């Protein structure tokens, strides 16, 4: 059964590469990049081996901790969690939990990241080639460390997928995990800043670094990688203690992962029946009875109830906190006052995936015979009803807390300008482009089939277009903050509201014409994504 699951995993990979030249190009480039990085890692570890035992122990211990963090957090930030062998989808088949866990572990070790990690970890023998005791201990510790990073990554994937339970439970778990990941960056940076402050404060920075690494070596992050160095240094009892910590860490991760898989296999996700209260039409009962009004009501419902949209709104309270963090807690910093501009830049591109989020239900939109202008206008009105009040509120709060009320006109002009410009650009691009997105109730970290580097470049191009069109309001706003000249602020305010409205209205007309021509093709691509 394990071999069968592995064959399925590699057959899916082969079919994916064969079906898309861009996927194959990305795979080849990723493999070449991994080989280049491995060459650098091996050369660095070999050089460290000549620097002495203390240097080798320090580098190997830190590298091991970074490796574990990379395997657990990297897929969430960069590539998404691999769900080729999805436990929830395998639940109906006669597969034991142990078989599935072994298959998932081997799949992780035999993929490109797993093979690259394995080859890179073997470089530990180059770092300890002058100490036979360390090299001998590495024979046991390297496999133990590799199993730990793979199992930890699978546990994180299981926790963030919210497997089992109903859709609301999965959405709650996914949203909470998404919030934790958003805050992980500043928390990590804060810890590193504290460590840096401690290292540079005293007369012996190298000694402080060694002290920090010595403490790190007793944690589950790096215990297994510190054992060979301790044996080479003759510290037998510390080496034994860290080996026990490493074994206990792997056992604990395995048991937690098993518990999550048992939940997924015995309590697969299910959908609750929808109920509609008599006479309660929601936003459809509040909006004007027209194609634009109906589209507005439907899109408004998505923005307020669909977790895929609500996750985008999490940036509203988080980005001001991030700006406050990166400014060192100085609320008077212009960086904090301009946090609303960054929020507007992010929110403005969300409607770009409106049609993609519709999925195959987009066919219902087409059967109504709605015109493109009406569809574009309804979606922009719904996004604006949420985005504009939020941006104004965050601008007022940020400038008020900073006490820099003179920055309110430029901040408000730049943020509203970028937001409305983003809505206009998204109204046009979403009439041409659909992208793979998570289905309702899916984990926000799930790697959706069909996602490739081209989709990332498309998003980058849209952001670039919004940034270029928003320069007439953004540049005067920056000049107002840099020079203190109020005139630049008022220019930014007028340009932001004026040109932003022009771009939004222009997006409705241009995007509407494109929608009328391309709507059937959009539906065909959406169905292809669903069947992928």
**For 71-100, what is each residue's pLDDT tens digit?**
887 665 555 556 666 676 776 777 788 888
Predicted local confidence at residue 278, as pLDDT: 46
**For 184-242, what is each residue's pLDDT tens digit?**
555 555 545 544 454 444 455 555 567 777 888 888 888 899 899 888 888 889 889 99
The band of 325, judged by pLDDT with boundaries at 50, 70 and 90, is low
Instruction: Output 492 or 15, whichever has higher pLDDT.
Output: 492
Contact status, residue 246 vs residue 141, Cβ threshold 8 Å: yes
The band of 304, judged by pLDDT with boundaries at 50, 70 and 90, is confident
Contact status, residue 480 vs residue 486, Cβ threshold 8 Å: yes
Instruction: Output 294 or 192, whichever has higher pLDDT.
Output: 294
53 token code pair: 């035992």
Strand partners, 270: 166
Contact status, residue 353 vs residue 437, Cβ threshold 8 Å: yes
Indicate whether 276 belongs to any domain.
Answer: no
Predicted local confidence at residue 309, as pLDDT: 78
Q: Is residue 240 located within the same domain as residue 313?
A: no
Contact status, residue 49 vs residue 135, Cβ threshold 8 Å: no
Q: Is residue 58 located within the same domain as residue 114?
A: yes
Q: Is residue 297 located within the same domain as residue 255?
A: no
Indicate whether 317 belongs to any domain.
Answer: yes
Which spans in 131-288 are helix H?
132-161, 167-201, 205-216, 223-232, 236-266
Report the share of the chain in percent with pLDDT over 70.
75
Query: Any idea what DSSP says for residue 130?
Result: T
Mean pLDDT of the chain: 78
Tell me, letter by letter, the H, E, C secondary structure of 243-263. Answer: HHHHHHHHHHHHHHHHHHHHH
The pTM of the whole model exceeds 0.85: no
Indicate whether 274 belongs to any domain.
Answer: no
Indicate whether 284 belongs to any domain.
Answer: no
Contact status, residue 421 vs residue 506, Cβ threshold 8 Å: no
**For 434-479, what is each residue's pLDDT tens digit?**
877 776 656 555 555 555 555 666 777 888 889 899 999 999 999 9
Which spans in 430-470 are helix H?
453-469
Alpha carbons within 13 angstroms on the beta-carbon side of residue 1 total: 13
pLDDT at 326 over 80: no
Q: Is residue 205 located within the same domain as residue 172?
A: yes
Question: Of all residues in the chain, what percent are helix, strand and coil, respectively (each to 5)?
Answer: 80, 0, 20
Neighbours of 222 (CB within 10 A): 26
Provide φ and ψ at 446, rounded to 5°. Answer: -70, 135
Number of structural domains, the chain?
Answer: 2
Instruction: Output 58 or 409, whichever has higher pLDDT.
Output: 409
**For 357-381, what is each residue's pLDDT tens digit?**
888 888 888 888 889 899 999 999 9
Query: Any idea what DSSP says for residue 219?
Result: S
Neighbours of 429 (CB within 10 A): 23
Indicate whether 281 belongs to any domain.
Answer: no
38 token code pair: 């491995």
Q: Is residue 258 located within the same domain as residue 298?
A: no
pLDDT at 164 over 50: no
The whole domain housing 204 covers 2-266
The band of 281, judged by pLDDT with boundaries at 50, 70 and 90, is low
Strand partners, 166: 270
Predicted local confidence at residue 245, as pLDDT: 93
Neighbours of 237 (CB within 10 A): 8
Indicate whether 17 belongs to any domain.
Answer: yes
Indicate whether 351 belongs to any domain.
Answer: yes
Predicted local confidence at residue 54, as pLDDT: 82
């Amino acid at each position: 059964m394990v071999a069968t699951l592995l064959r399925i995993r590699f057959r899916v990979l082969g079919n994916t590469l064969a079906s898309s030249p861009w996927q194959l190009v990305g795979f080849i480039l990723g493999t070449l990049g991994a080989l280049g990085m491995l060459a650098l890692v091996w050369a660095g570890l070999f050089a460290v081996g000549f620097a002495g035992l203390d240097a080798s122990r320090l580098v190997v211990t830190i590298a091991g901790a970074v490796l574990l963090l990379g395997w657990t957090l990297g897929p969430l930030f960069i590539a998404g969690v691999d769900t080729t062998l999805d436990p929830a989808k395998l639940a109906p088949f006669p597969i034991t939990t142990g078989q599935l866990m072994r298959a998932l572990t081997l799949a992780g070790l035999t993929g490109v990241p797993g093979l690259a990690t394995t080859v890179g970890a073997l470089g530990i023998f180059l770092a300890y080639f002058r100490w036979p005791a360390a090299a001998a201990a590495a024979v046991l510790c390297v496999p133990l460390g590799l199993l730990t990073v793979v199992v930890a990554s699978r546990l994180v994937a299981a926790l963030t997928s919210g497997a089992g339970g109903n859709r609301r439970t999965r959405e709650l778990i996914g949203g909470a995990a998404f919030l934790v990941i958003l805050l992980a960056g500043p928390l990590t940076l804060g810890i590193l800043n504290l460590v840096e402050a401690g290292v540079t404060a005293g007369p012996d920075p190298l000694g402080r670094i060694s002290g920090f690494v010595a403490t790190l070596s007793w944690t589950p992050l790096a215990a297994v990688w510190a054992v060979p160095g301790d044996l080479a240094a003759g510290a037998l009892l510390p080496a034994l203690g860290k080996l026990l910590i490493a074994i206990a860490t792997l056992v604990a991760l395995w048991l937690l992962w098993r518990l999550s898989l048992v939940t997924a296999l015995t309590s697969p996700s299910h959908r609750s029946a929808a109920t509609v209260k008599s006479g309660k039409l929601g936003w459809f009962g509040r909006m004007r009875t027209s194609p634009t009004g109906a589209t507005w009501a439907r899109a408004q419902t998505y923005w307020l109830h669909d977790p895929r949209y609500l996750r985008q709104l999490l940036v509203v309270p988080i980005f001001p906190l991030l700006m406050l963090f990166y400014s060192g807690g100085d609320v008077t910093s212009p960086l904090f006052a301009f946090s609303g501009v960054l929020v507007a830049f992010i929110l403005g591109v969300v409607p770009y995936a409106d049609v993609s989020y519709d999925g195959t239900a987009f066919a219902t939109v087409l059967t109504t015979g709605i015109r493109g202008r009406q569809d574009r206008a309804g979606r922009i009105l719904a996004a604006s009803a949420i985005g504009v009040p939020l941006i104004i509120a965050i601008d007022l709060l940020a400038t008020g807390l900073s006490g820099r009320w003179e920055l309110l006109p430029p901040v408000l002009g730049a943020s509203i300008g970028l937001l409305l410009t983003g809505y206009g650009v998204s109204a046009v691009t979403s009439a041409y482009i659909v992208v793979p997105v998570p289905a309702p109730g899916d984990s926000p970290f799930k790697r959706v089939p069909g996602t490739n580097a081209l989709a990332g470049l498309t998003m980058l191009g849209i952001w670039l277009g919004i940034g270029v069109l928003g320069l007439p309001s953004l540049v005067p706003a920056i000049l107002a903050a840099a020079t203190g000249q109020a005139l630049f602020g008022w220019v930014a305010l007028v340009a932001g509201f004026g040109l932003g409205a022009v771009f939004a209205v222009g997006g409705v007309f241009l995007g509407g014409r494109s929608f009328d021509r391309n709507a059937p093709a959009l539906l065909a691509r959406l169905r292809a994504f669903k069947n992928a």
